[in-house]
Structure 1
Amino acid sequence: MSYRIQWLGKDLWVIGAGFAAAMHIGKLPVAIPVLQAELGLTLVQSGLLLSFIQCAGMCFALLLGSYTAKLGLKRCVLLGLALLTAASICAGLMQSVLSLFVMRTIEGFGFLLVTLSGPALIRELAPAHSLPMKMGLWTAYMGGGMGIALMAAPLLMQQWSWPAIWFGFSAVTFFFLVMIALMIPKPVPVTQPVQMRSLIRMTLRHPPAWLLACIFGTYAGQWFALVGFMPTIYEQNQIAPAVSGMLTAGVSIANAVGTFACGIMLQRGLNAKKLMQSGFAILIFCAFSFYAFKTQMPFVLQYASVFSFSLFGGLVAASIFSQALHFAPSPSAISTTIGLILQFSALSQFVLPPCIAWLVSLTGTWLWAGVVMSVLSLFGIWFTQHLFTKTFIQTV
């Protein structure tokens, strides 16, 4: 058995674990209407439940990033997968609103442990010549995992019930837990003790780490908000729920395709700075076009704007994670640097959607949402320009 699956590459099992972890994020939106009907979940509770998985990243990403170096990358991935598996099973068995909130919080920590440790573990396992492509594939975990969940969850729920989604996805997660435990070699013992405080201090004093976090923060909240408001497109155009799920999955998978394509381009020598700035420029065009002309555009053009936003947003996401390996203050601080990036990402995804909703309700128009997102992308371009200055490149 080990011979047959060895050709896949040990790093691909870690990438698969990232996809499996992201499936737990994508499983909830499809099930919300059923949870409201069966468990009495209110609209406010639904919104909180959707955002609860971001709480762990928003509060503890940097701290946990420093702890992975002490615990070990492989152990952190296994622990994260174990938390996701156990929490998903418990939520499916208990079937109560309180259990959903508690287990969603635990899933948030499991998801964070996997996504914090994955890039650094891939760096240890992947050959140097294929690292940019593998990082591009890793960055596709969010769009790809959510896309798979958005397509699979309605089928499971239609055949059985919503707990079948929780049990089914926990089985997928457990499969990757077993394979990583068997296939990934034991970590090399650390010769010197890793001081968590020193890793955090080193990262916080390193300007490129802050710039990478700011760049990703300007992007991640936009993607989450734009995809989150897609139901307004479907409602406006009277799209059937079954079709809307497939369309939303297509947008998520487009992001995965964009990140993987960016990884290939980086491996072939394309400039990361140009890819990031080009991505942000396209985001400005797509977001402003969608929001400014939302009521005038036919559905096909509305969907094309969102699809293109997600696709070319992959240029930004993949470039950031690949550059995190390069701009981290030291190899031992890669997870801490990614922790800072994910903390800004979670904060952006938590804050931006309600801010856009408030702005739209205040002004009565979606135009200013496009303006806000365009300004954020302009900041992303400026941060990117500042990141690739000669001063920072010489210090890494």
Structure 2
Amino acid sequence: MTEIDTASLPIARTNRLSTILVIASGVVAALQVGKAAIAIPALRTDFHLNLQQAGWVMSIFALLAVVGGIPVGAATTRFGDRNLLVAGLFAIAAGSAIGASTETFGILLAARILEGTGLLLVVISGSAILNRVATKQDRDLVFAFWSCYMPAGMALALLLGIAIDGWRVFWFANAAVASLFAVLVHILVPRERSQSAPATFAIIAENARKTLTSAGPLLLALMFAMYGLQFFALFSFLPVLLVERIGVSHATAGVMSAFAIAANIAGNIGAGVALRRGVPRALLLAGASAVMTVTGIAVFILPAPTWVIFGLCVIFSGVGGCLPSAMMGAAPRAVPEPHLAAMSVGLVMQGSNLGQMIGPVVVGSLVDRGGWTMAAVPVAIAGGIAIATAFALQGVFRRFTL
């Protein structure tokens, strides 16, 4: 595979191109989340699934990511962030193609695990690339755009899933796009200019210990888990909720869900602007968590008209978008030593994927047993924990001047 000598390009131009490709790769990875949400009705029919089993289609690919964040952070340091990003995109391509080809539910879940591993590789290595190519003054804004990868990918998947006839065709198309971006990243994104000597197992273990005993990464991981639980508790099933509870058509539900998820992008970018202008990070986290919690509970329990429920979903998503932006920007820097940055991002992503895995399964199970109002319980509990964690992070942010 031919590789451009990016060292000969102007630095600003190279960094800008790398930033665009990394963020776009994140969007491609997030397509794999949204494509399952829009495909759930068809998957339930094709594989004869109940809502709890359908929840596992959404969350099973996060299972390996729950335990793999720290190892992937170590691998990023050992093998290079660009190499891991390419590997993650190819893993997504393979998983999507296998999932589209199978008639067996077990194989479909295994393919989702492969996709989840690829997503984790993309997010951790992508964060490492952005952390090294972004200037200090632009870092919060760059990470604000980077944190848009999930809502942008989910919204795009919902819209494309409606337009493309058949979920299997869409999944094969995802495999092709992920492969294309893997090639582009390999050719156009520069490697690190200097590679350190390969770390021994003892060094990796010591770095992992330091990361796991640092308050910053631990608290950020906990808060990201609560955010992931709340966000995916609602948006994994929003198309189904709109169809079953409000009575809109599947196509309308897909468009409404895509619009609500897209509102999250505005929150992500808005948080980056606010942080750049000096808004305290902990205050931003606490306030956004409170709004998410109140609106999330209301969506599930209020017997309100369609426009009210939809408006609450938009507020939930838009204000909630402040959270991943503020947390992702802090993760590589809330550590006592710079070389722990990738592991810190890995630990934080473990938290994110834990919430992403728990949310759909818990909500699907509760809704199967007691109806949609039961989904408000985990949203409320997660919100209370998130708000408390935001205030606990104040001291960490002061220490690292974040």
Alignment match of 1:306 (pick from 313, 331, 335)? 313
Alignment match of 2:324 (pick from 317, 336, 347)? 317
Alignment match of 1:381 (pick from 355, 370, 387)? 387
Which residue type is aligned with residue 342 of structure 1? M
Alignment match of 2:146 (pick from 128, 138, 141)? 138
Match of 1:370 in 2: 376
Preserved CA contact (<8 Å) 2:272 2:325:
yes
Q: Does 1:49 align with 2:57?
A: yes
Q: Does 1:291 align with 2:300?
A: yes
Preserved CA contact (<8 Å) 2:267 2:319:
yes
Q: What do residues 240-287 of structure 1 show as CA deviations (whole Å, max 9, x unaligned)?
A: 111101111112211122112212222233221221122012123312
**Does the C-alpha gap of structure 1 residues 371 and 42 become closer, same or farther in structure 2, counting only changes over 3 Å?**
closer
Q: Which sits farther off after the overlay, 383-392 or 236-245?
A: 383-392
SS of the residue corresponding to residue 279 of structure 2 reads: coil
Q: Does 1:328 align with 2:328?
A: no
Match of 1:186 in 2: 191
Preserved CA contact (<8 Å) 2:35 2:158:
yes
Unaligned runs of at least 5 residues, structure 1 = none
**Does the C-alpha gap of structure 1 residues 59 and 262 become closer, same or farther in structure 2, counting only changes over 3 Å?**
same
Please give the alpha-carbon distance, in whole angstroms, between the structure 1 residues aligned to 2:64 and 2:336.
24
- Alignment TM-score, normalising by the size of structure 2: 0.88
Query: Deviation at 1:122?
Result: 0.4
Q: Which sits farther off after the overlay, 75-84 or 85-94?
A: 85-94
Query: Deviation at 1:363?
Result: 6.6
Query: Deviation at 1:137?
Result: 0.7
Query: Deviation at 1:346?
Result: 1.8
Query: Deviation at 1:343?
Result: 1.4
Q: Does 1:341 align with 2:382?
A: no
Query: Deviation at 1:375?
Result: 3.9
Query: Deviation at 1:388?
Result: 1.5
Preserved CA contact (<8 Å) 1:68 1:76:
yes
Please give the alpha-carbon distance, in whole angstroms, between the structure 2 residues aligned to 1:110 and 1:372.
28
Alignment match of 2:285 (pick from 264, 267, 276)? 276
Query: Deviation at 1:302?
Result: 0.8
**Does the C-alpha gap of structure 1 residues 6 and 326 become closer, same or farther in structure 2, counting only changes over 3 Å?**
closer
Match of 1:33 in 2: 41
Match of 2:71 in 1: 63
Q: What do residues 305-337 of structure 1 show as CA deviations (whole Å, max 9, x unaligned)?
A: 111111111111110111112202322222211
Q: What do residues 194-243 of structure 1 show as CA deviations (whole Å, max 9, x unaligned)?
A: 33212211101111111111111121101110223422233222101111
Unaligned runs of at least 5 residues, structure 2 = none
Query: Deviation at 1:361?
Result: 6.7
Alignment match of 2:248 (pick from 239, 245, 264)? 239
Please give the alpha-carbon distance, in whole angstroms, between the structure 2 residues aligned to 1:94 and 1:391.
47
Q: What do residues 283-312 of structure 1 show as CA deviations (whole Å, max 9, x unaligned)?
A: 23312332342x2x1111111111111111
**C-alpha RMSD of matched pairs (Å):** 2.7
Preserved CA contact (<8 Å) 1:18 1:118:
yes
Please give the alpha-carbon distance, in whole angstroms, between the structure 2 residues aligned to 1:104 and 1:119.
22
Preserved CA contact (<8 Å) 1:208 1:392:
no
**Does the C-alpha gap of structure 1 residues 390 and 90 become closer, same or farther in structure 2, counting only changes over 3 Å?**
closer
Sequence identity (%): 25
Q: Which sits farther off after the overlay, 141-150 or 230-239?
A: 230-239
Please give the alpha-carbon distance, in whole angstroms, between the structure 1 residues aligned to 2:207 and 2:351.
18
Please give the alpha-carbon distance, in whole angstroms, between the structure 2 residues aligned to 1:98 and 1:236.
30
Please give the alpha-carbon distance, in whole angstroms, between the structure 2 residues aligned to 1:262 and 1:344.
20
Query: Deviation at 1:100?
Result: 2.1
Q: Does 1:110 align with 2:115?
A: no
